[in-house]
């Protein structure tokens, strides 16, 4: 029997959570262009769980003052929002800026600052204005220019209210969803077009950073990436090679150009061999990318990636996909969050941070998302209506313990943001899985702090918690 010991985090550690405009704000009355999510729902409502769209979601646009108080009550000293491009530029993402959108975000950010909550502002979280998607979305240089104009407008309007900026949340997500795996509009299966969209996303990131540098803000600008450490099934060379290739596609593809300013040559060679390199790129694009890299890095960590060598031949007539080179590996004995279908592997957070320390110059980083979505949480309500989510508290503690170990091992980690604050809309899963520290009763929009929300407040006040550190393995 081992003993618990107090784990303490560095001073001024960022405790908070994150969400995004499309998932939490609701449409409101400010005026807003149609987004790809609204468009997709109109075309295929049956793709969304229980047919719930993003028109109301968590109605933050009307309730932000109450919500800022809830942030305080749940121990937040920082919080990540995204700024809606469609709201800022209601004429389809271009044209004249919307004074009502500016007023809303100024009010929200001021309210947060006055309550001691640092504003982490993200500029793009999957929410392309639909008309810009019609023009090619991230496959179009014009859309890159429109995005940079939107970003620059945000720097100008909100620069003195924002603590840190982020160009994108999970830029890989829309590439996978829109071009490879059919879970984002416009549901194209075409790797080469996806590679073009990925390239222009990376260019947009670099150009936004270039624009940011014109100002002399104290804040930094970076990017938030979804990263999973990749593990081969075994040390068999075929499994190791499979893991290397999966890692190139899913981890290094965005991490290297956005943080180091260069594309991994092994990935470029592989795409060239398979005629999948983007058609439109120039030397000057590559220079902009190499000169404008992230100053801070957000790590979204949910699950590890486990792969093995393929056991069957690829059908050469099928569309080119990363899975031509590996298969997912289901590790015997793995622990699952069955509601979301994601493996729970807290040690992965340590492995991920060590990779950033060892291979990315130990860039200033933080966990920008980590969390556990659970279906039918009403099951766990007590008579007062509070969700007693001990499973979430355990999930958070187990991950934080490994994060603490990473800090002990020299990783430059500045904070931890949970996904999410109040239950919010999860894209095609709508409100199926709940992630919040605060529960949401959808019909009434009533918010109630969960047991995990109380735990989070204590955690943030104490800047640590008791844990059996002898359980941790490196
Ligand atoms: C991340 C996204 C979030 C959020 C979260 C949970 O990938 O950045 O927007 O949705 O995952 O995933 P989901 O909502 O699909 O359950």
Residues 103, 108, 112, 118: is their CA dihedral positive or negative? Answer: negative
Distance separating alpha carbons of residues 283 and 239, to the nearest angstrom: 36
pLDDT digits (tens, 9 = 90+) for 244-258: 999 999 999 999 999
Ligand 1, pocket residues at CB < 6 Å: 20, 23, 169-170, 173, 226, 300, 340, 369, 373, 419, 426-427, 429, 433
The kind and range of the H/E element at 350 are helix 347-359
What is the maximum span of the chain, computed from C-alpha positions, in angstroms? 66
Question: How is the chain split into domains, by residue range?
Answer: 5-471
Catalytically active residues are 369
pLDDT at 1: 57
- Superfamily grouping for domain 5-471: Glycosidases (3.20.20.80)
How many other C-beta atoms are found inside a 10 Å radius of the C-beta of residue 281? 17
Which residues share a beta bridge with 375?
Answer: 433
Distance separating alpha carbons of residues 367 and 389, to the nearest angstrom: 21
Both structure tokens of 322: 């990363």
Three-state DSSP class for 416? Answer: strand
Residue identified by tokens 């969960």 is 450
Distance separating alpha carbons of residues 16 and 370, to the nearest angstrom: 11
Distance separating alpha carbons of residues 23 and 424, to the nearest angstrom: 6
From first CA to last CA, the distance across the chain in angstroms is 20
Mutation test residue for ligand 1: of 418, 427, 431, 436, the one with most atoms within 8 Å of CB: 427
Alpha helices in 368-450 (DSSP H): 390-408
For the chain, which residues score pLDDT lower than 50?
none
Of 367, 368, 390, 386, the residue nearest 378 (C-alpha): 386
How far is the CA of 20 from the CAs of 190, 205, 237, 389, 466, in angstroms?
27, 18, 41, 23, 32
């Amino acid at each position: 029997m081992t003993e618990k010991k107090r784990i303490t985090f560095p001073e001024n550690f960022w405790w908070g959570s994150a969400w995004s405009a499309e998932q939490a704000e609701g449409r409101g009355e400010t005026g807003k262009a149609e987004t790809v999510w609204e468009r997709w729902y109109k075309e295929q409502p049956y793709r969304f769980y229980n047919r719930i769209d993003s028109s109301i979601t968590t109605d933050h646009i009307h309730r932000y003052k109450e919500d800022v108080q809830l942030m305080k009550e749940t121990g937040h000293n920082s919080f990540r929002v995204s700024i809606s491009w469609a709201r800022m530029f209601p004429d389809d993402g271009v044209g004249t800026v919307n004074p009502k959108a500016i007023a809303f975000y100024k009010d929200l950010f001021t309210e947060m600052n006055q309550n001691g909550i640092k504003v982490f502002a993200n500029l793009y979280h999957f929410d392309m204005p639909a008309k810009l998607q019609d023009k090619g979305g991230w496959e179009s240089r014009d859309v890159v220019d429109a995005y940079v104009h939107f970003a620059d407008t945000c720097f100008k309007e909100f620069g003195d209210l924002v603590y840190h900026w982020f160009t994108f949340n999970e830029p890989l997500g829309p590439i996978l969803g829109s071009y490879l795996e059919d879970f984002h509009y416009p549901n194209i299966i075409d790797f080469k077009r996806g590679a073009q969209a990925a390239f222009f996303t990376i260019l947009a990131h670099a150009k936004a950073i270039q624009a940011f540098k014109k100002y002399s803000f104290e804040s930094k600008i970076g990017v938030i990436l979804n990263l999973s450490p990749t593990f081969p099934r075994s040390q068999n060379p075929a499994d190791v090679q499979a893991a290397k290739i999966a890692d190139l596609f899913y981890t290094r593809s965005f991490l290297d150009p956005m943080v180091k300013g260069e594309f991994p040559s092994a990935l470029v060679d592989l795409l060239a061999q398979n005629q999948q390199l983007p058609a439109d790129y120039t030397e000057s694009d590559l220079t902009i990318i190499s000169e404008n890299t992230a100053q801070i890095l957000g790590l979204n960590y949910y699950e590890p990636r486990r792969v093995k060598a393929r056991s069957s031949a690829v059908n050469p007539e099928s569309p080119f996909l990363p899975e031509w080179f590996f298969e997912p590996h289901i590790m015997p004995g793995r622990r699952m969050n069955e509601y979301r279908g994601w493996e729970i592997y807290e040690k992965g957070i340590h492995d991920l941070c060590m990779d950033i320390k060892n291979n990315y110059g130990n860039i200033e980083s933080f966990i920008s998302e980590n969390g556990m979505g659970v279906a039918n949480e009403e099951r766990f309500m007590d008579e007062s209506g509070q969700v007693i989510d001990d499973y979430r508290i355990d999930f958070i503690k187990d991950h934080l313990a490994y994060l603490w170990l990473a800090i002990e091992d020299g990783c430059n980690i500045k904070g931890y943001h949970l996904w999410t604050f109040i239950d919010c809309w999860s894209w095609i899963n709508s409100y199926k899985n709940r992630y919040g520290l605060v529960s949401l009763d959808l019909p009434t929009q009533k918010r109630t702090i969960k047991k995990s929300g109380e735990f989070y407040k204590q955690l943030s006040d104490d800047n640590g918690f008791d844990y059996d550190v002898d359980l941790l393995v490196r």
